[in-house]
C-alpha cells in the first residue's frame, strides 16, 4: 500500500464524534508516516489493556485487530498490560466506582489476556510491556507536575463523572489519576500512535497528548475506534447483557452467533473485526444495496472471516457447513461429537460431563429455559436419565450423538 492507502486502511472503523477532528488525525497520521519513512523507522504503536477479567469477548478484540493491521504494514506494536492502571480501573465507561483489584488478581488475569490476544496478534512481532515498569517509579513531585496540566473542570465535564455528580454519588480523587497514568504510558513508550475506543477519547486525545507535549515529546496520534455492538446490533457488547460473542468458545458457536446479528450491524462488524480492506468492504455493501449479493451471503462471509481469524480456515469451513446443514436445511449436522451413554447420569450431570454446561446449576437453567432437546423433543426434567441412543441438542448450535 502507498501512504494514502495505508491511511485509509488504518483509519477504517474510527469514530471521533467530529469530522474535522477525524480529518486532523488522518492528516497527522499521513504526516507521521512520511516522516518515519524518511527516517527509515516504523511507527511506534500501542494499545493498553487493563486485565480486570479473563473472560474476553469479540468486542475486546477490536483494538487488537487494528494493531494487527499495523503489524501487517511493518510497524512496531506494543501490547501494554495495565497492571498498574488496573489497580484503579478506568472510570471512562462507568457511572459507578470500579472495585480496586489486588496485584495478584491483575497478574493472573494478564497472562490469560495476553494469550488470547495472540490469536489475533503476531506473537513474534508483538512487544509485551507492563506499565508498572514506569508508573511504580513516579515520584510525588512528578505526579504534581503531571496533574498541573489539567483542571478539575475538565474532569467534571466528562459524561460519567457528570452523571455521578448530578446523582450525588461519590467521585473519588484517585479516579482522576487514571487519565494521568495513561497519558504517562504514552510518554514512556514514546508512542507515535495510541489506539483506543470512543470511551477513551479524553484519555488519549486530551490527557496523553497534553502530557507528551508538556514533557517535550511529539504528541501521539489518537486512533479512536467505534464500539462494537452486541448480537442485538444496538447496545455495546457485554457479557452482563448477554449479547456478547465469547472468545473462549468453539468455531461453530462463534459462527452461529455472528449469523444472529441483524443485517444493519454488518458494516460495523466488517470494519471493526475483520481484516478486509475498505475497497473489499465497499464491494460487499454495494452488492447488498444493489441486490447482486444476498444479505445472508454477506453475513456468511462476515462469519467466515471472523471465525477464520480465531480458529483457522478449516474450522471456519466446518462451522459454515454445520450452519448450512442445521439452519438452512433444517437438519442435524453430519459430523457431530459422540458421547457414551451412562445410565447413572441424570440429564444435568450428562451435560456437565459432556462439556455442554459448566455446572449442574447452568445445566438445570438450560433445561428450565427449554434449551435442551433429545431427538427433537424438549426435555423438562433435569433429573431424567437417558437410556437410548440419539441426538442431544443444547441451544441452537450444539449437538451431541449419544451412543451405547
Judge whether residue 101 has pLDDT over 60. Answer: yes
Helix (H, G, I), strand (E, B) or coil at 49: strand
Q: Are 65 and 271 in contact (CB under 8 A)?
A: no
Neighbour order of strands in the sheet with 372-374: 338-340, 398-403, 390-394, 372-374, 377-378
Rounded Cα–Cα distance for residues 87 and 109 (Å): 12
Fold of 251-328: Tyrosyl-Transfer RNA Synthetase (1.10.240)
Query: Which of these ranges, 60-69, 170-179, 207-216, has the smallest mean pLDDT?
Result: 170-179
**Which ranges constitute the DSSP H helices of 46-189?**
62-72, 103-117, 132-135, 140-147, 152-156, 159-167, 173-188
* Strand positions, DSSP E, 213-348: 221-225, 338-340
Residue 314: Cβ-neighbour burial (10 angstroms; 0-12, 13-18, 19+): exposed
pLDDT (0 to 100) of residue 95 = 43
* Grid-cell match 509485551, residue found: 128
Residue 261: Cβ-neighbour burial (10 angstroms; 0-12, 13-18, 19+): buried
pLDDT (0 to 100) of residue 33 = 96
| pLDDT tens track for 113-148 | 777 788 889 999 999 999 999 999 999 999 999 999
| pLDDT tens track for 368-383 | 888 888 877 788 888 8
Query: Which of these ranges, 75-84, 167-176, 266-275, has the smallest mean pLDDT?
Result: 167-176
| pTM for the predicted model, two decimal places | 0.73
Q: For 319, what's the count of Cα atoms within 13 Å in the CB-facing half-sphere? A: 28
* Grid-cell match 501521539, residue found: 220
Q: How confident is the model at residue 204 (pLDDT cuts 50, 70, 90)?
A: very high
What's domain 3-225's architecture? 3-Layer(aba) Sandwich (3.40)
Q: How confident is the model at residue 93 (pLDDT cuts 50, 70, 90)?
A: very low
pLDDT (0 to 100) of residue 334 = 63
Average pLDDT over every residue of 216-223: 95
Query: Which of these ranges, 233-242, 271-280, 296-305, has the smallest mean pLDDT?
Result: 233-242
Q: How confident is the model at residue 385 (pLDDT cuts 50, 70, 90)?
A: confident
| Domain locations in the chain as residue ranges | 3-225, 251-328, 338-403
Average pLDDT over every residue of 72-80: 95
pLDDT (0 to 100) of residue 94 = 46
Long-range pairs of 93-97 with CB within 8 A, sequence gap ≥ 24 = 93/160, 93/199, 94/160, 95/160, 95/163, 95/164, 95/169, 96/164, 96/169, 97/170, 97/172, 97/175
Nearest to 21 by CA among 201, 271, 208, 210: 201
Fold of 338-403: 3.10.290
Q: Are 402 and 391 in contact (CB under 8 A)?
A: yes
Residue 306: Cβ-neighbour burial (10 angstroms; 0-12, 13-18, 19+): buried
pLDDT (0 to 100) of residue 99 = 58
Judge whether residue 96 has pLDDT over 60. Answer: no
Residue % of the chain over a pLDDT of 90: 45
pLDDT (0 to 100) of residue 330 = 58
Residue % of the chain over a pLDDT of 70: 93
Nearest to 52 by CA among 13, 92, 84, 77: 84
* Grid-cell match 460487499, residue found: 284
| pLDDT tens track for 295-345 | 889 999 999 999 998 899 999 999 998 888 777 655 666 667 788 888 788
DSSP code for 73? T
Query: Which of these ranges, 59-73, 153-167, 201-215, 296-310, has the smallest mean pLDDT?
Result: 153-167
Average pLDDT over every residue of 184-197: 95
Amino acid at each position: 500500500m502507498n501512504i494514502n492507502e495505508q491511511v485509509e486502511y488504518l483509519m477504517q472503523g474510527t469514530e471521533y464524534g467530529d469530522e474535522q477532528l477525524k480529518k486532523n488525525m488522518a492528516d497527522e497520521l499521513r504526516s507521521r508516516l512520511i516522516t518515519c519513512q524518511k527516517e527509515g523507522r516504523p511507527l511506534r504503536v500501542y494499545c493498553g489493556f487493563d486485565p480486570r477479567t479473563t473472560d474476553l469477548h469479540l468486542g475486546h478484540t477490536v483494538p487488537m485487530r487494528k494493531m494487527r493491521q499495523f503489524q501487517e504494514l511493518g510497524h512496531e506494536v506494543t501490547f501494554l498490560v495495565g497492571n498498574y492502571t488496573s489497580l484503579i480501573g478506568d472510570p471512562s465507561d462507568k457511572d459507578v466506582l470500579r472495585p480496586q483489584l489486588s496485584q495478584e488478581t491483575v497478574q493472573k488475569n494478564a497472562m490469560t489476556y495476553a494469550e488470547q490476544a495472540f490469536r489475533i496478534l503476531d506473537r513474534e512481532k508483538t512487544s509485551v510491556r507492563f506499565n508498572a515498569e514506569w508508573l511504580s517509579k513516579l515520584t510525588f513531585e512528578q505526579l504534581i507536575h503531571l496533574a498541573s496540566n489539567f483542571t478539575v473542570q475538565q474532569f467534571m465535564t466528562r459524561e460519567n463523572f457528570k452523571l455521578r455528580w448530578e446523582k450525588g454519588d461519590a467521585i473519588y480523587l484517585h479516579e482522576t489519576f487514571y487519565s494521568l497514568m495513561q497519558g504517562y504510558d504514552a510518554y514512556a513508550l514514546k508512542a507515535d500512535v495510541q489506539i483506543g475506543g470512543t470511551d477513551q477519547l479524553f484519555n488519549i486525545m486530551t490527557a496523553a497528548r497534553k502530557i507528551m507535549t508538556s514533557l517535550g515529546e511529539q504528541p501521539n496520534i489518537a486512533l479512536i475506534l467505534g464500539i462494537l455492538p452486541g448480537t442485538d446490533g444496538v447496545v455495546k457488547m457485554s457479557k452482563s447483557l448477554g449479547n456478547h460473542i465469547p472468545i473462549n468458545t468453539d468455531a461453530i458457536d462463534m459462527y452461529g452467533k455472528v449469523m444472529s446479528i441483524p443485517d444493519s450491524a454488518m458494516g460495523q462488524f466488517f470494519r471493526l473485526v475483520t481484516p478486509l480492506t475498505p475497497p473489499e468492504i465497499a464491494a460487499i455493501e454495494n452488492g447488498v444495496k444493489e441486490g447482486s449479493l444476498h444479505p445472508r451471503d454477506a453475513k456468511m462471509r462476515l462469519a467466515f472471516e471472523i471465525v477464520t481469524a480465531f480458529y483457522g480456515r478449516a474450522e471456519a469451513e466446518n462451522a459454515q457447513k454445520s450452519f448450512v446443514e442445521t439452519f438452512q436445511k433444517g437438519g442435524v449436522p453430519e459430523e457431530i461429537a459422540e458421547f457414551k451413554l451412562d445410565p447413572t447420569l441424570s440429564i444435568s450431570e450428562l451435560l456437565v460431563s459432556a462439556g455442554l454446561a459448566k455446572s449442574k446449576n447452568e445445566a438445570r437453567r438450560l433445561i428450565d429455559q427449554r434449551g435442551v432437546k433429545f431427538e427433537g423433543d424438549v426435555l423438562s426434567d433435569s433429573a431424567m436419565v437417558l437410556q437410548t441412543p440419539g441426538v442431544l441438542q443444547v441451544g441452537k448450535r450444539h449437538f451431541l450423538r449419544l451412543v451405547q
